[in-house]
Amino acid sequence: MKDEAKANPSILALIELKPADMMEAFCAEHPVTRDAEARDGIEVVLTSGARGLSGEEIDEFPDLRLIAVNGVGTDAVDLDTAVARGIHVTTTPDVLSEAVAELALGLAISVRRRIGEGERLLRSGGWSNGQKPRLGQALTGCRAGILGYGRIGRALADMLRALGVEVIYHARKPHDDAPEAWRPDARTLAAESDVLFVTLSATPETRYIVDAPVLEALGSEGTLVNVARGSVVDSAALAAALHGGTLGSAALDVFEVEPVAPDGAEDGLLRAPNTLFTPHIASATNEARRAMAELVIANIDAYLAGSPLPSPVTPA
Ligand code: 8YV
């Protein structure tokens, strides 16, 4: 790349692409700055699904033409402001679906089979002192409800079916090509499910779609698994259901406020029984992150070349 382009960067990286060699190559071949204060001349902002770019932030960039999201969620990007300004927004769909579905499956198995609890019992010396591990619940043979039937929900349905799990789902409308049976709302889905997997997009309409009545419908033997966004679950209601024993168990990869601090806002949830928590790692595999980085860079390259964008989410 010419020195001139390096001196006048047009791409602001708000995140680091992983694996690190992808970021190094991206920076070597593109006019990138990591200076979070850069504004003038910035045409492309590279951000993540969790970080996004707010409307106020978008307004600070007079020359912005592309918000390239390294992820699939756009809830943290102000799409209305982007559309009004004619700014393109791209994401990295498909390439992370299996990684996210795989973590959802792992969380369900782990929390129901008490894998974390068993490990803690062993490491603490409880097992060698005669304490017995508690019985878990099987996943095989269960009925799973999938709330949100997009690419991730479908990848998860394929995996669950292979394990002998019956799958039902809720989406706004039934999908004609779905092998699973549709349910008209989250509560009906929960009432008929042993495990409720949440994989839908976070929007104003889906905020707290998993509320106290949905958790009650899932019941004292039921399990909630959330790999979508924290905002779709009412976490105060979830903590209350777990502490009160009206919900069996929960495994969460996403939270209303991230990152979660041990004694912070989610304290009630963190102290709840029969829970398993991971730090928003559903797409964090070497394979998925490399494929995401390739796709986000392909979108940036297409913008720079004036070519059609591979995975746009807004008409701009
Ligand atoms: C990542 C995500 O946390 O795809 C999303 O929307 O939340 C995750 O894949 C993140 O975007 C990685 O940069």
pLDDT in tens, 98-117: 999 999 999 999 999 999 99
8 A C-beta contact, residue 199 and residue 146 = yes
Nearest CA to 289 out of 70, 59, 30 is that of 70
8 A C-beta contact, residue 87 and residue 316 = yes
Calculate what percentage of the chain has a pLDDT beyond 90: 94
- Asked about 216 being catalytic, the answer comes back as no
The catalytic residue among 24, 29, 221, 258 is: 258
pLDDT in tens, 54-69: 999 999 999 999 999 9
8 A C-beta contact, residue 247 and residue 272 = no
Nearest CA to 15 out of 42, 36, 39 is that of 36
Tell me the three state secondary structure of residue 252.
strand
From 46, 72, 231, 296, mutation site for ligand 1 pocket: most ligand atoms within 8 A of C-beta: 72
Our answer on whether the CB atom of 49 is closer than 6 Å to any ligand 1 atom is yes
Question: Once rounded to an integer, what is the mean pLDDT over residues 7-13?
Answer: 91
Name the pTM for this structure.
Answer: 0.96
Atom of ligand 1 nearest to the CA of 281: 3
Distance 3 CA to ligand 1 centre (A): 33
Q: How far from each other are the two terminal CA atoms of the chain, in whole angstroms?
A: 28
Q: Enumerate the β-bridge partners of residue 88.
A: 66
Confidence of residue 262 (pLDDT cuts 50, 70, 90): confident
> Domain 3-95+286-305 is classified in which CATH homologous superfamily?
NAD(P)-binding Rossmann-like Domain (3.40.50.720)
8 A C-beta contact, residue 263 and residue 290 = no
Q: Do domains 3-95+286-305 and 97-277 have the same CATH topology?
A: yes
Nearest CA to 227 out of 312, 313, 106, 48 is that of 106
Q: Of 143-157, 181-195, 239-253, 263-277, which gets the smallest average pLDDT? A: 263-277
Supply the pLDDT for residue 161.
96
Confidence of residue 5 (pLDDT cuts 50, 70, 90): low
Q: What ranges in 113-224 are assigned the alpha helix state H?
A: 115-123, 151-162, 186-191, 212-218
Our answer on whether the CB atom of 223 is closer than 6 Å to any ligand 1 atom is no
Q: Six-digit token pair at 62? A: 């007079």
Interface confidence (ipTM) of the complex? 0.95
Distance 246 CA to ligand 1 centre (A): 31
Architecture of the domain delimited by 97-277: 3-Layer(aba) Sandwich (3.40)
8 A C-beta contact, residue 264 and residue 257 = yes
Supply the angle between the helices 97-112 and 151-162 in degrees, to the nearest 10: 50
Tell me the three state secondary structure of residue 200.
coil
The catalytic residue among 117, 229, 266, 289 is: 229
Our answer on whether the CB atom of 283 is closer than 6 Å to any ligand 1 atom is yes
For residues 277 and 225, give the distance between their C-alpha atoms in angstroms, rounded to a whole number.
Answer: 10
Which residue owns the Cα nearest ligand 1 atom 13?
A: 48
Which residue owns the Cα nearest ligand 1 atom 8?
A: 71
Instruction: Report domain extents, the chain.
Output: 3-95+286-305, 97-277
Supply the pLDDT for residue 2.
67
8 A C-beta contact, residue 19 and residue 38 = no
Question: Once rounded to an integer, what is the mean pLDDT over residues 189-212?
Answer: 98
8 A C-beta contact, residue 296 and residue 14 = no
Q: Six-digit token pair at 64? A: 């912005």
From 47, 70, 203, mutation site for ligand 1 pocket: most ligand atoms within 8 A of C-beta: 70
Calculate what percentage of the chain has a pLDDT beyond 70: 98
Chain centroid to Cα 150, Å, comes to 12
Q: What is the DSSP string of 30-52?
A: S-EE--TT--TT--EEEEETTT-
